[in-house]
Structure 1
Amino acid sequence: MSDLPFGFSSSGDDDDREKNSGDRDKPGDAAGGNPFGGANPFGFAMGGQGLGDFDPSNFDPNMLGQMFSQLGNMLSGMGAGLAGGGSGPVNYQVAVNLARQQIGSFTPVLEKEISASADAVRLADVWLDDATIFPTGVTQTVAWTPVQWLEESLDTWKVLCNPIAEQLARTWQDNLPAEAAQFAGPMLGMLTQMSGMAFGTQLGQGLGQLAKEVLTSTDIGLPLAPEGIAVLLPEAIAKFAEGLGLPPQEIIVFIAAREAAHVRLFAHVGWLRQRLLATVEEYARGISIDFSGINEVTSNIDPTELLSDPSKLEELISSSTSFEPTTTPEQKAALERLETLLALIEGWVEQVVTLALGDRIPSTAALTESMRRRRASGGPAEQTFATLIGLELRPRKVREASELWRKVLEATDLSTRDGVWEHPDLLPDSADLDNPAGFVDRLLTSDSDLDNAIAELEKSLAEQDDPDTGDGSGGPGPDGDS
C-alpha cells in the first residue's frame, strides 16, 4: 500500500525521510547484546574466556584476584545501569537497552504525519459524539516513533512491574533455604541484582516487540500516554494496512476512532486507571515461589567450588532467575478480575467504534474482525502480559464482552450503558460475560427498583406539601372535622 491518506507514508516509502539509526545512542551494541560488554550475557570474562568456556582443570590461584576484579567490574556496571533506571527490583536500563536494540532502525515521524494524525482523530472524535455519553477526552494528538512509545510508556510499565518484581525479590530472600543462605549470603546482593537484570531482560524483550507493533497508545488496553493525549504510530499503522485490501483512509480513521474512544473512557471514568494498576498489585502481593528447584541446585554444590570453578557461580545465578512463582487462589481471582476488566474495556471500545463508524465507513466490520484476529493470533500484548504476570487476555472474553455491551444498549440506552462505568461495583464480572442476558435483566430490574423508589419518595414529598392536607401530615386540617 503505497498511497496512504492524511499524509501517512507507507512502510516502504523512504523518499522523504531517512532511517534513524545513528542520531540516538544505541546501547546493546556489544557482542551478544550485552549492555555491559562482552559476549557473555552476565558480563563475566576471564582471560578472554566466558565462564561457559572456563576449564577448572586449568584454574590458577593467581587468577583469583582477577576473578574478583571481574566481579567488581560487573557489579560496578550493574550499579551504573541501576542508577540510570532507578534503584529498584528491575534493571530498567537493561530493559531499555534491549528494547532499543530490538527496535533497531526506525523512521522518524514527518510533520505531515503529525498533522494527519490530528485530522484523523478530530474526524473520528466528532463521530464518536453520537455513540457515547462521554464527551471527548482528547486535548492533544501526537504521532510517535517506536522509540518515543518506549520512552513515554516506561513510567507506566514501572508501576506495573515493580510490585511483582519487589514481591519476587522479597520472597526469594525470605525463603532461601538455610543451607543455601549460609554460603550465598555474601553473594545475595549480587543475586538480587542479577534477578533485577533477568526481569529487566524479559521486560526489554517484550517492550521491544511491542514498540514495533502497537498502533496507538492504548493498543494493549492500558493508558500508556499522559491523560488526554491521543497517540498514533504511523510506521506501525502503515505496516498494519499492508495486505488488508481495504481503503487506507478508512483504516486510519478506524484506528484513530479506537484511540479516541479509549481516551474518552479513561478520561471520564476516574477510577479505571488506578483499578487496573491496583489489581496487578493485588496479584503481586500473593506471589510465592516453589523453592524445591533451588534446593536441588544447591544440595550438591560445595561452597569452595564457587571459588575454584566460577562456572558454578554462573550456574547458580542462572538458576536463581528461572524459578516460576506458584499461583494461589487469590492470585487467580485477581488475574481473572484484571482479564475481565481489560476485556470490558476492549469490548466497550469495539461497540462504540462500531456504532460511530458503522454507517459511515463500509469496512468497519472487516476492520473489527481484523483486530479480533490480531488478538487471537497471540499478539505482542498477550505475550508481554503472559511473560510478566501470567495473564493471557483470551479473545473469547473480548468477544463476549463486546456482545454484552451490545445487548445492554439494545435493552436500554446510551446513558444506561455508559452509566455502568460509574462505579466498579456496577461492572459485569466474569460470570456475566458468560451470561450477558442475566446481567441485562439484573440491570433492568435494578433500574426499575430505583425508579419506583424515586417515584414513591416524590409522591410522599408531594403529599406533605399539598395544601389540601392542611398541616402536611396527611391528617385533617386545622378547621377540619376529626
Structure 2
Amino acid sequence: MTDDPRTPGPDDGRDPLEEMLRQMFGGQAPDADEIRKAMEGMGTPGGMGGMPGMGFDPSRLDPVMMQQAMAQFQAMMNPGPGSDGPVNWTLAKQAARQAVAGEDPSVGSFARREVDEALRLAELWLDGVTETESTGAVGQAWSRAEWVEATADAWRRVTEPVATSLSRAMSAAIEQQLPGQLPEGMDASLLGGLQPMLQNMGGTMFGLQLGGAVGTLGKEVLSGTDIGLPMAGHRPAMIPVNVEEFGDGLSVPDDQLRLYLALREVARLRLFLHSPWLERDLFAAIEQYAAGIRLDTEGIERAAASVDPMDPESMQAVFDGSSFIAEPDATQRAALDQLELLIALVEGWVDVVVAEAAKPLESAAALRETINRRRASGGPAEEAFAALVGLELRPRRLREAAAFWEHVTAEHGTAYREDIWTSPERQPTAEDLDDPSGYAGRRSAAEASTDALDDELRRLLDGGYGDAPKES
C-alpha cells in the first residue's frame, strides 16, 4: 500500500505539529511555537498538575501516529455530512455501531429462513384471533448493526429536541470554563482557534453517549418494535442473535420462542397499521414532553469542569449515570402520562391477542409471563436511555391494560375491541383501566353527548330554531 502523499512523514521537512494544527483549524490555526512552549511547560512543577516528569517532549512526536490520532480527533469534533445542527448524529450512529461491533455475527441464510417462516406463520395464527389486517410486508432478519441502521432516523426523531438543548448547554459551559483549566504557560488567546471545536463539543459528547445507549439496546432488543414504538418502520423484523441469547436462560424450545416473539412483533405492526393515529399520537406525546425540557444548568457546569477536550472517554463519561434534565412540569407530566398510557394499551392488547393466538404452543403461558416481566421492568439499557433523555418507554400499567382488553373481549367480542382502535376519541383512559366494566357505558354516554351536540349545532346552522335569526 502506497503512503498517502498528503501525510507528512518523518523526513519531509515539515513541522508535524504545525501541519497537524493547519489541517485541524485551517487558516485560523494556533501558533505551533506557542503550543510547543505550553507543552514543554506541562512537565515543570508549575505545569500540568504540578507533577515533574509527567510532561510532554515535543521532540519525541511520532508524526505518523500524531497525524492518525489528530485525524480521528478532528473527525470526531467536526460533524460531517448529515450532522446538521448542534448534535453530531453521524457520530452517534458510529458509536452505536461500535457498541455492537465484535459481538455481532452476520445473519446466515438458515437464520433468515427461520425468521421468515416464523413471521409468516405468525400472520396466519393472528388472522384467527384479530380483525386487524395482515402487514403484507416481507419479514426481515437483522444483525445488531442492521438494527442500528434501520432505527437511526427514529432515534433521532425521538431524542433530537432533548439532544439539541443538552448539547448547546454543554458546549456553552465548556467554552466558559476551559480558560481557567489551561496549564500554566499556555496563552488563553490560543482558544480562539479552538472555537469551532468547542461549539461542537456538546454535540460530540451527546452523540457519543446516545450512540452508546442505542448500541447497548441493540444487544437486547428482540424485534423491530420491541420497545413499543415502530422504530424501524412497518416491516416485521427480528434480531436472531439476541433471540438466541435471550433463549439461553429459558427452558423453551427455540422454535416456540421464535414463533411467540414473531407473534408479538406482527401483532404490534398490525395494530399500528390498523390505527394510523396511534403512531402519530405516540410521537406527539414525546414531542410535547421534549418541548418543555428544562435543564439542570448547575449539573451541566459541574460536569463540564471534568471534561478533558483531548480525551473522548472523559467526554463520553460525562453523561454516564447522570441526567441533566430537570423534573417535568405539569404539561410535561401530562404528556408522559399519555405516552405511558398509550404504550400500556398497546402492550396490553398485544399480550391478550398473542396469548389467544399462541394457545397451540406448550410454552405459551411461561413465555407470556417472562416477556411481560421483561417488558414492564425494563433493563440497564433502558435505564441508561431514560437517564439520558428523560423518557421511560415502558408500560408500567401493562397488567391493568391486559385485564381491560380481556374484559372487553369477553363482554363485547373481538370486533368491538378492534373498533376501539379506529379513533383516538375511543381511547381508554386511566379510569377505564381502573374500572374496565364501566368503559362501554362511559363510551356510550360520551358518544351520545357528542351526537346531541352535533345535532344542536346542525339545527342552529340550518336555521331550525323559530326564534333564531336566519341569514338573508
Superposition TM-score, scaled by structure 1 size? 0.69
Which residue of 193, 212, 222 maps to 1:215? 222
The match for 1:15 is: none
What is the 5 A alignment of 1:360-371?
Answer: 360-371=360-371
The match for 1:159 is: 157
The match for 1:150 is: 148
The match for 2:355 is: 354
Q: CA deviation at 1:171?
A: 6.0
| Deviations, residues 363-417 of structure 1 (Å, cap 9, x unaligned) | 2221110102223453256325413332334554112111111112122122221
What is the 5 A alignment of 1:97-246?
Answer: 97-103=94-100, 104-169=102-167, 189-227=196-234, 229-246=235-252
Q: Distance in 2 between matches of 1:162 and 1:432?
A: 33
After superposition, the Cα gap between the structure-2 partners of 1:436 and 1:392, relative to the gap in structure 1 and judged at 3 Å, is farther
Q: Distance in 2 between matches of 1:94 and 1:119?
A: 36
Instruction: State, as a whole percentage, how many aligned pairs show the same letter.
Output: 36
The match for 1:54 is: 48
The match for 1:344 is: 345
| Deviations, residues 164-216 of structure 1 (Å, cap 9, x unaligned) | 11233456789x79987999996775444221122112212212211122111
Q: CA deviation at 1:156?
A: 0.9
Q: Secondary structure at 1:287's aligned position in 2?
A: coil
Q: CA deviation at 1:445?
A: 4.5
Letter in 2 for 1:91: N
Q: Secondary structure at 2:236's aligned position in 1?
A: strand
Q: State whether residues 161 and 388 of structure 1, in contact with CA within 8 Å, keep that contact through their aligned partners in structure 2.
A: no
Aligned residue-pair number: 392
Q: Distance in 2 between matches of 1:350 and 1:325?
A: 33
Q: CA deviation at 1:438?
A: 3.5
Superposition TM-score, scaled by structure 2 size? 0.70
**Two-structure CA RMSD over aligned residues (Å):** 4.2
Q: State whether residues 114 and 143 of structure 1, in contact with CA within 8 Å, keep that contact through their aligned partners in structure 2.
A: yes
Letter in 2 for 1:261: A
Which residue of 281, 284, 292 maps to 2:287? 281
After superposition, the Cα gap between the structure-2 partners of 1:342 and 1:205, relative to the gap in structure 1 and judged at 3 Å, is same
Q: Distance in 2 between matches of 1:179 and 1:278?
A: 35
Q: Distance in 1 between matches of 2:87 and 2:411?
A: 48
After superposition, the Cα gap between the structure-2 partners of 1:200 and 1:297, relative to the gap in structure 1 and judged at 3 Å, is closer
The match for 2:31 is: none
Q: Mean alpha-carbon deviation: is it higher for 391-400 or for 244-253? A: 391-400
The match for 2:6 is: none
Q: CA deviation at 1:320?
A: 8.5
Q: State whether residues 82 and 90 of structure 2, in contact with CA within 8 Å, keep that contact through their aligned partners in structure 1.
A: yes
Q: State whether residues 54 and 311 of structure 1, in contact with CA within 8 Å, keep that contact through their aligned partners in structure 2.
A: no
Q: State whether residues 411 and 440 of structure 1, in contact with CA within 8 Å, keep that contact through their aligned partners in structure 2.
A: no
| Deviations, residues 323-382 of structure 1 (Å, cap 9, x unaligned) | 712132221221121111111111111111112222x22322211101022234532563
After superposition, the Cα gap between the structure-2 partners of 1:145 and 1:264, relative to the gap in structure 1 and judged at 3 Å, is same
Q: State whether residues 116 and 140 of structure 2, in contact with CA within 8 Å, keep that contact through their aligned partners in structure 1.
A: yes
Q: CA deviation at 1:150?
A: 0.9
Unaligned runs of 5+ in 1: 1-43, 457-482
Q: CA deviation at 1:101?
A: 2.9
Q: Secondary structure at 2:391's aligned position in 1?
A: coil
Q: Distance in 2 between matches of 1:297 and 1:247?
A: 48
The match for 1:410 is: 410
Q: Distance in 1 between matches of 2:86 and 2:212?
A: 17
Q: Distance in 2 between matches of 1:417 and 1:100?
A: 41
